[in-house]
Structure 1
């Protein structure tokens, strides 16, 4: 509106002249303007929902040694004993009534072993404690799956308990409806339910197959009742029972099922995060896109790292849902997205966002364009739905000067932003188009550019961070390029999915990092880094 003259406004992007009748207080002021499109919902809950969907199949019995001094299990062994621990103690009383310290030849007697299930139980218990302090009104529900799907809820009400078995595991609509019928309003705040959930958690026993698809579907139905809900899926194996099973089914077919479930979740404002156990085939290539679509995270961790990863997911709440971005620039220029032809108008359906969500928009001259302008104006419109149910629009209008001097452009470059764009673009190309060679070439091109830009100490520090990420990513891209028809390994999928959802803060030098915002869980939607 900077060119409003006699109630006539000339659009900076298309040149059209329109008559505008506005009061002075209605005129946009400054580069950033916020608008309220719809008021908060009266029935919007002020507490969110976290659903833990836990694999208790037989493979969760696999054990690993606990490093000496590792403190995570001191929390749970002081209060709760797992079903496995109780069975072991009873067996030892029968087999070794004298209590002698018996070990096999060559076996160390000072090492304690812990199963994947026990790591999961301890990690969830610690998160319950932390949630009760940070988000006391948050509601938590527990769902487990093996041969069947068992909804435990918060452990208080019998009508929350539900076991789904048999032919029902093969029907998506039946499972979704079963989840929707669970009254989540009856769930108590985590400050009141944490002990009861922990009691239910530590009596779980590992047995049976893996009905991951049915368990997740039921959880989605349950979480769809409350926007800004989180589903944390913890598993160490592929689904082999019911819908979403990959046994005797083409991987693409299973992937289509999980992606359709993710799109439904995204429309309902539900975030899904996947935590897989390292050393097992978790099917990240099948499940990974589900997390990206809903704004969640994907990671493969060692059993003893579960607690740290769960904390990072829960500490990063959803700030807004239904986020859509529409960007404009001059017809001479175009936004570049995933190697497609640049367009002067770009639309993105982002979905759910957290404080760590960063979406970079790259733009440049179109191929057929000649010459240029001294400045490049642009406008970005971000529509979104807040946690209170209100619908808002944020409009960012600005311009950037252009230069024909390469050295001037490189001197003023934001290295962290360039690094983020390079990494995200390479991962997108590899995951979406399987163009591994092209992804590597683009990555190296950007690396040379960023290397030239890194002149100051801060820029050099950010470049070094970028190089470390590139080395890990390029190693996996090279393996995929050498064997393009092989199944993507969980390690490669872990690297690609984690870096695809990377944030700019991961590449910032120490001087530019803002640690206070993350700690306080305070953040605005920052969909555009300029």
Structure 2
């Protein structure tokens, strides 16, 4: 249980209002939320993207590259091919960005191996290449730490200083040590067996002497260059333009709905601009119409006004579920519960003597609990402990062996089965233009030998499932996987016996209950085999996929939910590119509310069976996302709208975010003077019970709370209690108690001084996504700006500043969307594009927001066996 501040804030009428600038047109808050303390000329906040071990497509990498200040191009001195590729990386950057904007260094890693027979690239060769490219040269060893700090400081020194924030991207081929160098720099630790499939960002504050800040005129020119030229539109709107190759100006682009591109997609658009020598190749790529949201800029001359607004506070609590995978801290005996509200007696309570027994006045409801046969010494101590409700049902030998091993071992099989449910309707044969960054990279790496610029959506699905199935086979050979597909019908393709693949028959006239029964019968008639036995048939089936028919998404999802209903911890991964139009859940027959109710019903059923539903949809395709996503939301799963090329990475992210507990229920107690302050919650709610179902390593819940009566400020401390009932993978059922008493204050300065920025960041992004999804876009936008202003006032320590930068970086695209498309989020419903943007914000995770020092434990767990890493790197030739 983590809080938004060390102190619970009780309010202060004198300090709780601030003046902000808003638009007179639509009341959008215009006050700059990203202004921080004065620049001392030496402090540097680095936002570093580790691009993982492979240069496959990633929208996160594309965005970072397009907006980055500097690049570290890394090669290994024991790998000549990585040295050759380093030059290709530099040339690729010059194609994607203005050559004057490429500030890079060349890094020769693994210097600890100098003198060994393994060395393939000499120092002289490295210096010659750096001279040829015109960039500085550094030699490093992630193992010993030699040269690592110097390399990052050197990179910062060659970047024109426009602020204290620097965005840096680590580039280079696989296995050169990008992750090792990054982690050595941010945490001063060495990792050798790091999972190369993990792409992550790190924030680090350092001090670099000798920097030359830009003058005011230079900053103004740089700002103007980044924004581009403006042409006036109607009603005070302006339109961004970019310089054409012939010197003319033209709009950066429009969505199907006619609006301008968002900052996020503007960056992508700038990234994809190629030089004149590449016009012919760019023309061949001809991207499909961009599925981007409407976007307007308000001109500087648009009328504004200043108003007084209520400041926000840090009264937020976050409950992470990832630590449920840790060994429980068991206490003996049974929990002593309040006779009225069910709170458990912990160290936040106080016993009073009553002769031979004790009295406990419950701190959460005031109930007097008498005749307690317990003393103060017997009350469970600490902020976290567990009661065992039922013993394990599975042996622990495998877990003990793994814990005792000093080297990475084959990952133990996670609970449940995985069902891949793939759309093979006719629209999946549509061609997708590869991102220009990917086209350019392929051409640079192959020296122009490959110019592939289009693939089908089905090709992307096929490659993603092929790769993930092989990785799962190596990591968890006992894992069971079912492959199903749907078009006008639903078919089982592989996962069990190849001699007895069942035929499901027509599904268009079946009810939800009948489809569930079909799934249950399928589970009985088609027992799955472990991947060690079924992989060959799954791989063959994936390679033979073909498109046909319409989209029976509702029936397919219902059958899959029935299939896994008796296997807790299972997950359904559904990929689609079209609106459901066959059978139950068809948006042709059950519009809006009826559709929502159906997918809500599927999601609730899945959650009740400890199954999660994850939905992947394609950018540029309409799927009725606002409706279909309800199934994923209700089950605790995720919804992602992706470029088809990114599905391979997203499937891997889902697999990495494993289920850690099932049958999870949360009971949350607030002090009676406080109530929950969340969208859709009753105004007077001080106790909340939530059935969660299965939870994953990155799962969490967050809640805002407030005083029921703002005038009541006579509290010195405030108790909190969370009860989590859950089942571990070994079958043990536990009750975890999280208990804490926090100090209270009426001093805003004291509350803001001790803010936990990562908790505030995660909570704010999730809450604003909920608000926007329910049509309260202005409230969401105001809240995000409000929290950013508070974070900027309060963040002073190294950890707070690193997390402030993380919050700014993670929320930047969402901030732009809420500000510039605010009116869209105030309507009765959202289209697929805006639903996807809201879901992206809703899915934010704590690991993206924490400071570098807090990632040590997380990094230690990100290991991959050597055979799995080798298999991953073998895919290099495909990209």
On whether the aligned pair clears a TM of 0.5, the verdict is: yes
**Contact kept in structure 1, 2:496 and 2:528, CA below 8 Å:** no
Do residues 39 (structure 1) and 379 (structure 2) align?
no
- 1:516 maps to 2:859: yes
1:182 and 2:519 correspond: no
Aligned mate of 1:236, from 573, 577, 582: 577
Where does 1:104-503 land on structure 2 (aligned, <5 Å)?
110-111=451-452, 113-154=454-495, 156-165=497-506, 167-168=508-509, 170-183=510-523, 186-338=527-679, 340-367=682-709, 369-431=711-773, 433-477=774-818, 478-479=820-821, 481-482=823-824, 484-485=826-827, 487-503=829-845
**d(CA) in 2 for partners of 1:426, 1:195:** 45
Shift of 1:486: 6.4
Alpha carbons 2:389, 2:734 under 8 Å: kept: yes
Counterpart residue number, 1:525: none
Describe the shift of the 1:258–1:403 C-alpha distance in structure 2 as closer, same or farther (beyond 3 A): same
| Residues matched between the structures, number | 483
3-state SS in 1 of match to 2:605: helix
Offset at residue 470 of structure 1 (A): 3.6
Check 1:446–1:291 CA distance in 2 against 1; reply closer, same or farther (3 A cut).
same
Partners of 1:134 and 1:9 in 2: CA distance: 54
Match of 1:51 in 2: 419
- 1:180 and 1:222 in contact (8 A); partners too: yes
How big is the shift at 1:25? 9.3
Q: Following TM superposition, by how much is the alpha carbon of 1:116 offset from its aligned partner in structure 2, in angstroms?
A: 0.9
- TM-score, normalized by length of structure 1? 0.84
> Cα offset for 1:415?
0.6
1 or 2 for the larger relative contact order (CA 8 Å, sep ≥6)? 2
Please report how far the alpha carbon of residue 487 of structure 1 lies from its aligned counterpart in structure 2 after TM superposition. Answer: 4.6
Between 109-118 and 234-243, the greater mean CA deviation after superposition: 109-118
CA–CA separation in structure 1 for the residues paired with 2:709 and 2:851: 35
Change (3 A) 1:305 1:140: same
Q: 1:9 aligns with which of 359, 383, 391?
A: 359
Q: CA deviation at 1:327?
A: 2.1
Q: What's the CA shift for 1:314?
A: 0.9
- Structure of larger gyration radius: 2
CA deviation string 1:108-128 (max 9, x = no partner): 983353211111111001111
2:371 match: 19
Name the CA distance, whole Å, in 1 between partners of 2:603 and 2:787.
Answer: 32
State the 1:483 CA deviation.
6.9
Q: Structure 1's 179 and 19: CA in aligned 2 closer, same or farther, altered over 3 A?
A: same
Shift of 1:464: 2.7
Contact 1:63 1:113 in 2 (8 A): yes
**Counterpart in the other structure of 2:380:** 28
> Using the alignment, how far apart are the partners of 2:655 and 2:824 within structure 1?
38
State the Cα distance separating 1:517 from its structure 2 match: 5.7
Cα deviation, residue 197, structure 1: 0.6
The 2-side partners of 1:112 and 1:491 are apart by 24
Q: Does the CA contact (< 8 Å) of 2:508 and 2:555 recur in 1?
A: no
Give the secondary structure class of the aligned counterpart of 2:691.
Answer: strand
SS at the partner of 1:402?
strand
The alpha-carbon deviation at position 348 of structure 1 amounts to 2.5
Q: Is the 8 A contact 2:725 2:733 kept in 1?
A: yes
CA 1:196–1:398 in structure 2 vs 1: closer, same or farther (change >3 Å)? same
CA distance in 2, matches of 1:126, 1:305: 13
- What does the per-residue CA deviation read over 1:281-308, in whole Å, with 9 as the maximum and x for residues that have no partner? 1322111122122121111111111110
For residue 354 of structure 1, report the CA deviation from its aligned partner.
Answer: 0.7
Deviates more, 1:5-14 or 1:261-270: 5-14
Higher helix share: 1
Alpha-carbon shift at residue 230 of structure 1 (Å): 0.8
Q: Which moved more, 1:260-269 or 1:408-417?
A: 408-417
| 1:35 Cα deviation from its structure 2 partner | 0.7
- CA 1:373–1:481: 2 relative to 1, 3 Å: same
Which stretch of structure 1 is more off in the superposition, 330-339 or 56-65? 330-339
Q: Does the CA contact (< 8 Å) of 2:497 and 2:527 recur in 1?
A: no
**How big is each residue's C-alpha offset from its partner over 1:1-43, in whole Å with a ceiling of 9 and x where there is no partner?**
5433453132333442422225999642322220111233479
SS of the aligned residue for 1:123 comes to: helix
Change (3 A) 1:501 1:494: same
Q: Deviation digits for residues 33-83 of structure 1, max 9, x if unmatched? A: 20111233479x975200000000111111235535879xxxxxxxxxxxx
Give the secondary structure class of the aligned counterpart of 1:194: helix
Aligned mates of 2:548, 2:463 — CA distance in 1: 19
Q: 1:528 corresponds to which residue?
A: none
TM-score, structure 2 normalization:
0.52
* TM-aligned CA distance change 1:46 to 1:301, over 3 Å: closer
Aligned 8 A contact 1:419 1:450 in 2: no
Question: Which SS does the other structure have where 1:493 is aligned?
Answer: helix
In 2: Cα distance, 1:27 partner to 1:447 partner: 41
Moved more, 61-70 or 185-194: 61-70
Could you tell which deviates more after superposition, 450-459 or 220-229? Answer: 450-459
SS at structure 2 position matched to 1:359 = strand
Q: Deviations over 1:242-262 (max 9, x none)?
A: 111112431221121111011
Structure 1 distance, partners of 2:646, 2:389, is 43
